């Protein structure tokens, strides 16, 4: 499942796309939420993902669709990008393209598997790799209450097998003081923003 290349009309700009990636429990959504409070809302677009999973207090704030509705929306061109992971389908609404065409910076939690597609679709892409010590990841995942001990261990040990090489990779250690990681995220976002008139 992926966006349809036939609908692309060259790299979309002049705005930027910040792809926030990392293992479960690394705190991607926490960093995104904290950064959102500190950056200019007129020049940024924080993307609300569509997921084929019910929303709950332990998961990110997202829009939910059934598998059937998601497939229909994808066929209708409702997504700028979509992918499958962990038995679920994820989509970014097509409004992302509009925001980037307006010169805004879009920020979204995405799978590292879609990074090559993002680099094809958007003129400016910055990949933010959020990470933390495996013991911290396991503790955070356990706190969600959705997986057993064996499933948590398997998730933490999982090697995605996808290289995060490139000059556009920003690495953020989110295993220590949150304020330090948030500062790094905010500075990364602000570096992409178009100058104010």
- Per the annotation, does 145 bind a ligand? no
- Per the annotation, does 87 bind a ligand? no
- Per the annotation, does 26 bind a ligand? yes
Tokens representing residue 92 in the block: 């970014």
Q: How does DSSP classify residue 114?
A: G
- Per the annotation, does 29 bind a ligand? yes
- Per the annotation, does 23 bind a ligand? yes
- Per the annotation, does 25 bind a ligand? yes
- Per the annotation, does 28 bind a ligand? yes
Question: CA-CA distance, 181 to 113, in Å (whole number)?
Answer: 23
φ, ψ (nearest 5 deg) of residue 89: -110, 140
- Per the annotation, does 22 bind a ligand? yes
Measured CA to CA in angstroms, residue 104 lies from 38, 129, 157, 190 at distances of 15, 21, 36, 11
Residue burial 53-68, b: 16+ Cβ < 10 Å; e: rest: beeeeeebebeebeee
What sign has the CA pseudo-torsion 187, 111, 12, 106? negative
Provide the annotated binding site for ATP. 22-29
Annotated binding-site ranges: 22-29
């Amino acid at each position: 499942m992926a966006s349809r290349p036939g609908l692309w009309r060259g790299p979309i700009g002049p705005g930027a796309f910040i792809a926030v990636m990392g293992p479960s429990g690394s705190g991607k959504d926490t960093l995104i939420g904290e950064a959102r409070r500190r950056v200019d809302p007129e020049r940024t677009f924080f993307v609300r993902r569509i997921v084929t999973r019910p929303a709950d207090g332990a998961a990110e704030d997202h829009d939910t669709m059934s598998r059937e509705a998601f497939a229909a929306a994808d066929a209708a061109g409702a997504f700028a990008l979509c992918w499958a992971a962990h038995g679920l389908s994820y989509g970014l609404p097509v409004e992302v393209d509009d925001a980037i065409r307006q010169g805004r910076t879009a920020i979204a939690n995405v799978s590292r598997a879609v990074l090559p597609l993002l680099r094809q679709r958007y003129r400016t892409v910055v990949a933010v790799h959020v990470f933390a010590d495996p013991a911290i990841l396991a503790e955070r995942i356990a706190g969600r209450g959705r997986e057993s001990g064996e499933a948590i261990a398997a998730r933490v040990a999982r090697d995605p097998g996808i290289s995060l090489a490139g000059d556009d990779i920003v690495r953020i250690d989110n295993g220590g003081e949150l304020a330090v990681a948030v500062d790094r995220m905010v500075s990364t976002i602000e570096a992409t923003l178009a100058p104010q008139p």
